[in-house]
Structure 1
Amino acid sequence: MKISLIILTFVLLTSCQTNGKEKQENFFELSTKIDSIISENKFNGVVSLSTDSIDIYSKSFGFSDLENKVRININDQFVIGSISKQITAVLILREYEKGKVGLNDKIGNYLTEINQPWTNDVTIHQLLTHTHGIVDLDKPLEFKQGSQFHYSQLGYELLAQILQKVTGKTFKDLSTELFNQYGLKNTSHPNNKGYKNLVKGYEESENGILEYTEHSLENYAAAGSFISNVEDLKKWNQLLYSEKLVKKETLELMKTKYSTRIHPIFDTIDYGYGLLFKDGEQSIQIGALGYAPGFVSACYYYPQTKLNLVILENTANNLDDFKKTFIVQTEIMELIKNQT
């Protein structure tokens, strides 16, 4: 009996050591391939690949200020574009969990100042899924609510206004409370003005020169102009997918396919609540890309391996072809998905 126990212990230890070695080799291979992707493309920003406890890849490249040649730091802050939408979705869903809003509630129940008949038809769910048809607050719907998909920044701004009506707080204060509650110290509503390490954003001009843009924060905050860094976005993923921000059942709602879009980068992509995924890949690769003038980003989670990928870039090249603009983000994502 004692000999059998010794043999079993030896086998288990050897197996653990072998698995650990294989994992290290896989991580090294991933890091080498990420280096290769970056070296073959223009990239100015930061890349982070991690598990909950291990930083597999964490590097910064280029400058936060091109004119003054200030090197980017891994902890610098960036405008995160449409990654912001999942933050807004979480804020709405937390009120849903409290019973303060219903996903099928008509938005006219809350936005009484909008004098349009469609407020009695469009629902909160349709705002979340870009299926509402609203193109202008003073115009009729573009299509019958719920019948089509049209990507909309305005829809998420209306969600922010609904949150303000329901909570009695400004959207800035409500989002700030969320960030403070969960220790997201580097994440900020743009109107807070408390961000100290925000890099400058640059866009490639028609003659191929990177020029500083002053318009990075002009989108609705709820739709595309929250500010964050790799550490906080990694933590956001950990909180969200471990059901600390919303309940398990609510997270499943976020990960459910409600609509499909013909996408300028992915060709086709499915939408949940603030989250994007290829058809049937919710348990493989899920998250969002983000674009704001001068800022190109990706924040994805890989449920099978619990990997977090965050890529934040402050130079936007090839703006006539978004597939080229996001080439580093999508090639690294494909690499990790294939590895998974």
Structure 2
Amino acid sequence: MKINILGISLFLLISSCKTNNTNKNQHSSLSSTIDSIATNNHFNGVILVAKDSAIQYEKAFGYSDIDTKEKLKTNDKFYIGSISKQITAVLILREYEKGNLQLTDKLNKYFPEIKQPWANQVTIHHLLTHTHGILEIDQPLEFEVGTQFHYSQIGFGLLAQILEKINHKSFEKISTELFTQYGLKNTFHPDHKKYNNLVKGYEEDENGKLVYATGNPVKYIAGGGFISNAEDVLQWHRLLYSGKLVKNTTLNMMKTRYATRNHPIFDKIEYGYGLLFLDGEQNIQIGAFGYAPGFPSAAFYYPQTNMNFIVLENIGYNLNDFKKTFKTHTDLMKLIKNKK
């Protein structure tokens, strides 16, 4: 029996060309749809979409400085808001893996100076999941520990202090060492001061005018104050979801539902450790939104398709209705979620 080598080679070549053309058409369609959504929503920021190890879309829209009309670049840096919480959660969980803390540790172990009775009730787990009820250090709890969810920055501030007490270093140094270890060269604690290309953030006031959000916009850096750019957030995703930052068993803890929040964007959302997802969708769409004044952001991972989606914006529109503020983000999330 003779084998037609030429015919087989020709068939493989034609098949390869068809596959390449299909991929090109899909990428072209994706790009044009993203462009249309961003333009229609007057988006000002950076959008990045990646699948597997390849970036499929990366583009900057608008200005880093509206007054001088300096155009945004894809490597510009933004405050990433509550995306920061998963970084702090990872730092805590790495200490948990080393045996340096337990998630059941009570706060009085680390803060003997707190005289409120809740110091021997609230645990690290409660801080991570916003179920602690702390309003202020010198005040009674808002609710009984573990019975409710109240989104809180102060809890993550306490987590940063716990890390400092364990490591005998500042939270700035602890986080900087993590970023350096894993090659996140564009991610910074704002006190590190070695960053450049940090864009200006703007907010729409009650008259519809854009005003500059001055200074460091976040009190508790651990809860919402880190600085990064789109490709570093993508690299963070790749490290986190591949089990390089924490063990897979620990990552599964991060992806476990511990509380439900009435969310200003999704109405109801489930919370793990620094990560959020819709009910039952932790293996479909998982990640975080962020808002530091002037900086709406979103970073989500899609395990079934191995896609990553990052949006960093530096204008906060319609702040009385976050569904409108984050319309570009959620429109694009629907697009990526439905992409096969």
TM-score range, shorter chain: over 0.9
Distance 1:218 1:231 in 2: 23
Q: CA deviation at 1:219?
A: 2.7
Q: CA deviation at 1:116?
A: 1.3
The equivalent of 2:64 in structure 1 is: 64
The equivalent of 2:252 in structure 1 is: 252
Distance 1:247 1:12 in 2: 41
The equivalent of 1:228 in structure 2 is: 228
User: Larger deviation: 156-165 or 111-120?
Assistant: 111-120
The equivalent of 2:213 in structure 1 is: 213
Name the aligned partner's letter for residue 183 of structure 1: G
Q: CA deviation at 1:103?
A: 1.0
Distance 1:17 1:280 in 2: 39
Distance 1:187 1:8, change over 3 A: same
Distance 2:301 2:11 in 1: 33
Conserved in 2, the CA contact under 8 Å of 1:50 and 1:307? yes
So what's the TM-score if we normalise by structure 1?
0.95
> Is structure 2 residue 336 aligned with structure 1 residue 319?
no
**Correspondence list, 1:87-102, <5 A:** 87-102=87-102
SS of alignment partner, residue 56 of structure 1 = strand
Distance 2:12 2:82 in 1: 46
Conserved in 2, the CA contact under 8 Å of 1:130 and 1:149? yes
Q: CA deviation at 1:110?
A: 1.2
The equivalent of 1:53 in structure 2 is: 53
Distance 1:14 1:120, change over 3 A: farther
Name the aligned partner's letter for residue 152 of structure 1: S
Distance 1:5 1:145 in 2: 73
SS of alignment partner, residue 184 of structure 2 = coil
**What root-mean-square deviation, in Å, do the aligned CA atoms of Structure 1 and Structure 2 show?**
1.9
Conserved in 2, the CA contact under 8 Å of 1:79 and 1:216? no
> Is structure 2 residue 116 aligned with structure 1 residue 111?
no
Unaligned runs of 5+ in 1: none
Q: CA deviation at 1:54?
A: 1.8
Distance 1:249 1:69, change over 3 A: same
Name the aligned partner's letter for residue 153 of structure 1: Q
User: Larger deviation: 2-11 or 163-172?
Assistant: 2-11
Q: CA deviation at 1:218?
A: 2.9
SS of alignment partner, residue 339 of structure 1 = coil
Distance 1:120 1:172, change over 3 A: same
The equivalent of 2:286 in structure 1 is: 286
Conserved in 2, the CA contact under 8 Å of 1:88 and 1:223? yes
So what's the TM-score if we normalise by structure 2?
0.95
Q: CA deviation at 1:339?
A: 1.4
The equivalent of 1:299 in structure 2 is: 299
- Identity %, equivalent residues: 59
Distance 2:66 2:132 in 1: 41
Q: CA deviation at 1:27?
A: 2.4
Distance 1:9 1:97, change over 3 A: farther
Alpha-carbon displacement from aligned partner over 1:266-317 (angstroms, at most 9, x marks no partner) = 1110000000111111111111010000111011111112111111110111
Alpha-carbon displacement from aligned partner over 1:164-189 (angstroms, at most 9, x marks no partner) = 11111111000000000011111000
> Is structure 2 residue 334 aligned with structure 1 residue 334?
yes
